[in-house]
Structure 1
Amino acid sequence: MFCIAVANQKGGVGKTTSAINIATALAASGHSVLLIDLDPQGNASTGLGIAQNKRQRSSYHVLIDRGGLVEAVVPTGIPHLDVVPATVDLSGAEIELVDLEQRTHRLHQAIEGASRHWDIVLIDCPPSLGLLTINAMVAADALLVPLQCEFFALEGLSQLLNTVERIRSRFNPSLSILGVALTMYDRRNRLTEQVSTDVRAVLGKVVFDTVIPRNVRLSEAPSHGLPALIYDHRCSGSEAYMALAREVIQRLPRQEAAA
């Protein structure tokens, strides 16, 4: 099993959209995938059509009560894709975790105990660098960073990479950067091209070749409880996420990529 945290402390960068659609594309390629919704807003759960009354157990229970991960899993309507949903309870988890034992490793322990069930686990992190995101980074083998093509992108990325270095030095020395995905790409905007050029100049091959365009269908799909790949698989956004998923698979360790 290979665990990927989808993280960026900046909100509105397409993080949850990326997590949902990459998970769907990986499942469509034959991998058994679990998406853990670790954002108190629960947008990944909603975007996969998981109604509130189906969220009897959630990522909150996994972290705080140390409930079993498998018991919190809800199947989606997509073959090979399961989700651990989030509820509003998770908004208080940052405070509750402070007083708990092994507060940074609770998600890691839960995933480790259920590793035989899935090929790939994706964690949709909240837009912050608090204890929820730290739990995700401690649990993860690698980090996937959606990065909006805008002026402040590199500044926010440097903060995230500093946090990654601290996680490596203190908790998870094997944590790597799987890749940076450029999102909300608008070819009509000269600034977009400039940001893309700057990011690639700084990070080189860490940046995925595929860019995710601004696309109305990507925005519409969550309101229907569907990934864009199911809602409209022919739109430019869906095609981009399929291409990005192929790049993700190429970067996985050989046994996971071949699953």
Structure 2
Amino acid sequence: MHHTIALLNPLGDSGKTTLAVNLAFSFALLEIRTLYVDCTSSGAGSRILMGKHKKPAWGVADVLSGFVGLRGAIVPGCTPYLDVIPALSGEKEAEKFLAFNPEKEKVLGLSLRKPGEGYGRVIIDTPSGNGFFVKSALAASDMALVPLHPGWDRNSQLKEAGHCVDEVLKYLNPDLKGIGFVTLGPSDPVPDEAGMQFVGRLPDCDAVRKGMATETPAALVDVMSPGAQACLDLAREMTEAATVP
């Protein structure tokens, strides 16, 4: 079962947060209790899913640094069945605080272990690159989900994501079960390949664009839009796959 899913694409502006936000919201709409963990530098996803008027006291970096337990950093989301751990402090500060911990990349996974049991899905949004937060997210996850942006070379995106996953599989998380990918924009999904699953597409549509511009999940803009329906279909597919022995 893919309980914890890390969004991964080392290239910037690749659509990770767009997919993470709308997928987390879709799981919640399906009444699957979902935790969204924001490891990005911008914090855009947590702002969208918390609602615009909430001002949380703690974030992911505070959890990793030991200033607060994971439960203490959880903020209720903007819809039932959805909770959020926001991004407030910096990645560099957390990594510096854990500098003498030889297994610092495993701290997030350990922090999520017990509280995460109360959720049907944990979605971890990550920054670009292959730094501390990316490794921490993959070390905590069962699966990496890669949005393939049409503006970047597809093979380069898959290659870079594969390098990240291979490193984590070797040194940090041998239980990471593989890579799934979702094509963004108008193109059809790439053919399925060994070790890759959940081949899908998030269409470029007005509801998705307007949602990101106004910090609103696409389903709240227009639940019948192609983008909102594609995310709901992907959430259903993942849920159905998890029930297959």
Contact between 2:34 and 2:119, CA under 8 Å: does it hold in 1? yes
Task: Give the superposition deviation at 1:28.
Answer: 1.4
Write the deviation string for residues 46-105 of structure 1: whole angstroms up to 9, x where unpaired: 222444752211111011225211110000121100000111x22433652561413111
Specify whether residues 109 and 253 from structure 1 end up closer, same or farther in structure 2 by C-alpha distance, changes over 3 A only.
Answer: farther
The gaps in structure 2 that reach 5 residues or longer are: none
Task: Give the superposition deviation at 1:204.
Answer: 5.9
Counterpart of 2:104 in 1: which secondary structure? Answer: coil
Contact between 1:21 and 1:228, CA under 8 Å: does it hold in 2? yes
Counterpart of 2:137 in 1: which secondary structure? Answer: helix
Distance 1:171 1:49 in 2: 31
Structure 2 residue 207 is the aligned partner of structure 1 residue 217: yes
Specify whether residues 44 and 100 from structure 1 end up closer, same or farther in structure 2 by C-alpha distance, changes over 3 A only.
Answer: farther
Task: Give the superposition deviation at 1:26.
Answer: 1.0
Task: Give the superposition deviation at 1:14.
Answer: 1.5
Aligned to 1:243: 233
Task: Give the superposition deviation at 1:126.
Answer: 0.8
The gaps in structure 1 that reach 5 residues or longer are: 187-191
- What is the root-mean-square deviation in Å for CA atoms of aligned residues? 2.3
Distance 2:158 2:16 in 1: 13
Aligned pairs (5 A) from 1:114-153: 114-150=115-151, 152-153=153-154
Counterpart of 2:191 in 1: which secondary structure? Answer: helix
Task: Give the superposition deviation at 1:117.
Answer: 2.1
Structure 2 residue 191 is the aligned partner of structure 1 residue 200: yes
Aligned pairs (5 A) from 1:42-191: 42-51=43-52, 54-65=55-66, 67-87=68-88, 89-93=89-93, 95-96=95-96, 99-101=99-101, 102-150=103-151, 152-184=153-185, 186=186
Aligned to 2:21: 20
Write the deviation string for residues 137-180 of structure 1: whole angstroms up to 9, x where unpaired: 11101111111134512112112112211211111111022511
Distance 1:239 1:53 in 2: 28
Specify whether residues 209 and 107 from structure 1 end up closer, same or farther in structure 2 by C-alpha distance, changes over 3 A only.
Answer: closer
Distance 1:113 1:5 in 2: 18
Distance 1:136 1:151 in 2: 23
Task: Give the superposition deviation at 1:225.
Answer: 3.4
Counterpart of 1:104 in 2: which secondary structure? Answer: helix
Contact between 1:75 and 1:83, CA under 8 Å: does it hold in 2? yes
Q: TM-score of the superposition, structure 1-length normalised?
A: 0.85
Aligned residue pair count: 243
Contact between 2:51 and 2:78, CA under 8 Å: does it hold in 1? no
Distance 1:151 1:5 in 2: 20
Task: Give the superposition deviation at 1:218.
Answer: 0.8
Contact between 2:91 and 2:133, CA under 8 Å: does it hold in 1? no
Q: Give, as a single letter, the amino acid of the residue that structure 2 aligns with 1:110.
A: S
Write the deviation string for residues 9-44 of structure 1: whole angstroms up to 9, x where unpaired: 112221111111111111111211100000011011
